[in-house]
Structure 1
Amino acid sequence: MNKMKVKLLSPGAKVPTRAEKGAAGYDLYVPCNFVINPGRNLIKLDISIELKSETEAQIRPRSGFSLKGIEGYLLEDMDTPKRFDADVIIGTIDESYRGVVGVIIKSYESIPFIVKEGTKIAQMVISHYCNEPFEVVTELSKTERGEGGFGHTGTK
């Protein structure tokens, strides 16, 4: 059985970990204090990974940060944590990628804030994918759902 591999690229880099045995995602850590500016930001995690064949990694938000905002600090007050209106943008890492893993953060704040070294900033979920080509056809098989989508089942 081949294992996934991780290369640590700085002293602050951490191996992705699962908080619990049944957790689907691996927590990803900020390797050093990082200033989040208004708009889009890329936090390089200072790790590179090698995934198993026919798998991909999705970078996803942590549910607590999605609900409450990302925990960080004002530049002038590094002692009092606050929640900031910012989101992790979903991303995909292909199995052939060997570069530095990063997390994209979109900040809706008007001021910069700092995310501290060691913060669990996002999660990475590894999934198998289909690696087959498409076949061009003139008809698709029928299903009960058919073409229903985009909220067709309602909210109740």
Structure 2
Amino acid sequence: MAQRAIEISITLQAGAKAPAYATAYSAGADICALLSQDLVIESGSFSMVPTGLNIALPKGYEAQVRPRSGLAAKYGVTVLNSPGTIDADYRGEVKVILINHGKKPFVVHDGDRIAQLVITSYAEASFNLVESLDETERGQGGFGSTGV
């Protein structure tokens, strides 16, 4: 059964590209850099990359900014705060914090696909203060507590 498309309002600065799905089954829409000149991200460094894109999401939805697997696999470049969340009430420009884990400088050119947006719904929680939490088999076991 096909999901109903969510309508997202966007504005674009001059020269910016609209988010676009690469294939009919893509979960994420590619977003592109909007640069007046090439941006070099040195090995071990990060940079906030403008996209010229502003979005308006409906209440109950978020846009997750996620890495592009090709940039990670080929160059060691990923989104630093992955996934970055864009809240429904944010109206500023979407910017992507790219980090270069690779060994060589990475050059971002105007129009390069630098990340992807995944639009998803979320549940708003009501946090209730209680005296104690229910017991589980795992209990307070944390990182690595269930094995390798």
For 1:94 and 1:147, locate their aligned partners in 2 and report how far apart those are by CA, in whole Å: 31
CA distance in 2, matches of 1:68, 1:98: 33
Q: 1:127 to 1:147 in 2, by over 3 A?
A: farther
Change (3 A) 1:145 1:24: farther
Q: CA offset at residue 135 of structure 1?
A: 0.5
Say if 1:146 and 1:109 are closer, same or farther in 2 by CA, change over 3 A.
closer
Determine the structure 1 residue equivalent to 2:86.
93
SS of the residue corresponding to residue 147 of structure 2 reads coil
Q: Call closer, same or farther: CA 1:145–1:25 in 2, change over 3 Å.
A: farther
Cα deviation for residue 129 of structure 1 reads: 1.8
Q: Name the aligned partner's letter for residue 102 of structure 1.
A: K
Query: What is the TM-score with the length of structure 1 in the denominator?
Result: 0.76
Q: Secondary structure at the match of 1:6?
A: strand
**Counterpart Cα distance in 2 of 1:34 and 1:133:** 46
Deviations along 1:2-31, one digit per CA (max 9) or x if unpaired, are 7211111122x1111112222221111122
Letter of the structure 2 residue corresponding to residue 104 of structure 1: I
Separation in structure 1 between the aligned mates of residue 118 and residue 28 of structure 2, nearest angstrom: 5
Identity of aligned residues (%): 38
1:31 to 21, 34, 52: 34
d(CA) in 2 for partners of 1:36, 1:94: 29
Deviations 1:130-156 (Å, cap 9, x if unpaired)? 22320001122334443333222323x
Q: Does 1:48 align with 2:51?
A: no
The answer as to whether partners of 2:79 and 2:115 remain within 8 angstroms in 1 is yes
Structure 1 unpaired stretches of 5+: 70-84
Change over 3 Å in CA distance of 1:18–1:149 after alignment to 2: farther
Q: CA deviation at 1:52?
A: 1.4
Gaps of 5+ in 2: none
Aligned equivalents of 1:94, 1:25: Cα separation in 2 = 17
Secondary structure, counterpart of 1:135 in structure 2: coil
Asked whether the equivalents of residues 35 and 112 of structure 1 are also in contact (C-alpha less than 8 Å), the reply is no
In structure 2, relative to structure 1, the CA distance for the partners of 1:2 and 1:142 (3 Å cut) is same
Specify which of 123, 126, 136 is matched with residue 130 of structure 1.
123
What is the TM-score with the length of structure 2 in the denominator?
0.79
SS at match of 1:24: coil
Counterpart contact for 1:34–1:114, Cα < 8 Å: yes
